[in-house]
Structure 1
């Protein structure tokens, strides 16, 4: 295992800055996921860590040693690529040991490494097959095994599951998670898939336009996104983001949606807080996850949002329900069987979890 520190890293291609003052600290045994849309700089950063793309400025530090001028082969890292990068004419066994043979490892060392990795990744029956005789998931396990035989300080994964179908992705996520739990090797994993990020990571770095937007645990980033970009990017279905203003009424603070003016959506957010007081009368955006909206029968004593069901998307375990509420469109996550198009329903909102964002800066407003 190893620590990894990325300090003030910049990467320029002429006038194009693909990485902008990136600072990340990764502790021994962390599973760090670099998450963001295509073109955000996450793969460029992974290549910089691997030594495949020298940085313009800043430092890459592994276990306290600055490795900027150290060749990729000497950084004691192992990388698993999206395309598997297996040698088609070699058996699985020879693919696993190719790097060891190049480095002059003895036959005994090779055999011991193959035995260890094959047991962990369940490759024993595949050792004499060639890549063309393997499924996509098996090829990915071989690619992982080739990285594991080195017992590196750091694993680097570059969108390794993007070529797999949905079931294989789920299976391989579990394999990668089990591998990390067993080996506890420091890992940096690149993906644009938020499900992979949420299920695998001990720490997520959200990137946009070459900049780090937020670093935190999956749950913290999900529940407390720093800005509207993260709020909208993380979560499926996406967070409801409603433009409006804050109003003070006695000791309470209310959110009023912009649609329909004074007849628009109005939500009691509870007692006024120091954070919200400065934004009374200002343009804000209310953020509500679909599961923070609960179904309640109309006419109950609760403080409800009146809504009409527009579209129902059953998924088996949940119903994703699109609703119209006083000019606003909301997505809610209901129990299976709840909600039919045209139905009038009441929505109870979990005000303790709702978020507010400054409409101008798009930054989250602290309570």
Structure 2
């Protein structure tokens, strides 16, 4: 059964919103649903615009132990605007269906959701409606491409991060996110790590969790009405992706991307969603994008509950143990428990041996954890 069949009410017609309009809209939505939402800023852009985030949870602003945290980020490239529109609509959708849809209420009960509609509000303000594939507004106000501005996986050379990048990095490291996606435009595909290759060429750059990332990317692509159809944006654009997914570097190599940084420096698994062939479509086309993506956005969000989770505690005192490393057999990528001793590990279906260790002291070992599809 499709998730959408459990949604009681859909979002009505919407338009493009500039920074002031978006701020007013987010404030209005949160005011309508104060019991499950709060609006907060993680910092300011170069031009001193707030980097707004809406948290949706049963107790916004209060950490609830045992619940995984999820995030969506839109509009990292200022002229790629469909993600910004979709995420504002997603916030609306969760608000208007609270106490009307059992699915929405269960999602909010079991998940802490953070949605940032615009990481690059400065770039948006100089972008132009009708832009198909230009770069006007792509960068931030300093002319920096934010998706090339994170610490690079294959370089030890220090690099200056922009204020927007620093804010997202600090936010991501402070919130113990488990799963994330950042929304872009200009193509139609779900892109997963690694984004860069050692020689900078377009070659498959496989990360240790390649199978799991393919599962995550496919969850979005298969829920989309035509992301799996080739060629995704027409023969003239040249993009053709098997199953609607691609390894980032296999498409083209990107150094300093956000999804690779999340994977390597936090516990969060992130993919990049290209969700429109046109970067800044006319406002009359926006609701079509919403109808195409509303189901995939919800399907992907629920993937945060895939895999296994638990607590790390001192066996003698029962107190939580923070920063315990969780090892999974045959996957050379570890995660660690939070300050409250919680951990979540997304994996594809299969059998795994899991070990938890703090320093050189093995805390626990579990064999044959079975994950079902």
TM-score by length of 1: 0.23
Higher relative contact order by CA 8 Å / sep ≥ 6: 1 or 2? Answer: 2
Which structure is larger by alpha-carbon Rg, 1 or 2?
1
- What TM-score do the two structures reach when normalised by structure 2? 0.23
